């Protein structure tokens, strides 16, 4: 997987372990815990669930199914929330969810310019850079240059379309199926789907990049 770019918040040094915002969150969590408003152990269990049980594993399974099932793909692109909820394999998708399909002519890239709206139900916890001001501004100003920082260089004739998530609508990218995967099972295909490929900052892994 390509290395993530060094996107630092304004005023944050490259060697800082926590950003000013993260430090404020830690301080707030400490105060709320001391007052008995939250239970740190419960928060830890919630975080662990999103990291290990939900995302991005759910999203990878959804993408893999769309790669092998044309009817499901059609329904997913039309209304992702309804298509996923109809499967009955996951918890209900609680917000309006849209799938943005990549094609040979168009590459989709997702951002939330106002805050950090993110499809937690599908992808789990958002990466730290997704919430950063540098990412949210660069993706609008220079999306092609930003992708190159992620290690993704697209041909000049490929349109890069940046789409903005909101509190009402969550977005994720439906990447193109890698070549050389004909006859692969959904389970095998899901192993090729990365979190970044469902945000648009990366592509799925190639067949030779996963263990048999």
Residue 211 known to be catalytic: no
pTM, two decimal places: 0.77
User: Under DSSP, is residue 106 helix (H, G, I), strand (E, B) or coil?
Assistant: strand
Q: What distance in Å separates the CA atoms of residue 200 and residue 106, rounded to the nearest whole number?
A: 11
Contact 66, 72 (CB under 8 A): yes
32-44 pLDDT, tens digit each? 777 776 666 655 5
Q: What distance in Å separates the CA atoms of residue 168 and residue 97, rounded to the nearest whole number?
A: 9
108-152 pLDDT, tens digit each? 999 999 888 999 889 988 888 999 999 999 999 999 999 999 999
Q: What distance in Å separates the CA atoms of residue 133 and residue 200, rounded to the nearest whole number?
A: 17
Catalytic pick from 112, 132, 165, 197?
Answer: 112
165-204 pLDDT, tens digit each? 998 899 999 999 999 999 999 999 999 999 999 999 999 9
Catalytic pick from 19, 117, 165, 197?
Answer: 117
CATH topology of domain 55-209: Nitrile Hydratase; Chain A (3.90.330)
φ, ψ of residue 88 in degrees (nearest 5): 70, 15
**Of 131, 132, 62, which is closest to residue 98 (Cα–Cα)?**
62
Residue 153 known to be catalytic: no
Catalytic pick from 16, 19, 33, 116?
Answer: 116
């Amino acid at each position: 997987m390509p290395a993530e770019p060094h996107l630092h918040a304004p005023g944050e040094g490259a060697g800082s372990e926590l950003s000013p915002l993260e430090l404020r969150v830690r301080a707030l969590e400490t105060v709320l815990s001391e007052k008995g408003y939250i239970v740190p152990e419960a928060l830890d269990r919630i975080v662990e669930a999103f990291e290990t049980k939900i995302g991005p594993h759910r999203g990878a399974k959804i993408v893999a199914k769309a790669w092998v099932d044309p009817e499901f793909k059609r329904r997913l692109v039309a209304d992702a929330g309804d298509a996923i909820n109809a499967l009955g394999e996951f918890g209900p998708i609680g917000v309006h969810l849209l799938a943005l399909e990549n094609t040979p002519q168009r590459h989709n890239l997702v951002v939330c310019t106002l805050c950090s709206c993110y499809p937690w139900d599908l992808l789990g916890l958002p990466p730290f850079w997704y919430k950063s001001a540098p990412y949210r501004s660069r993706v609008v100003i220079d999306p092609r240059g930003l992708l190159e920082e992620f290690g993704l260089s697209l041909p000049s004739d490929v349109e890069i379309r940046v789409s903005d998530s909101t509190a009402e609508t969550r977005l994720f990218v439906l990447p193109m199926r890698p070549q050389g995967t004909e006859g692969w099972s959904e389970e095998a295909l899901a192993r090729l789907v990365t979190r970044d490929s469902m945000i648009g900052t990366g592509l799925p892994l190639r067949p030779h990049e996963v263990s048999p």
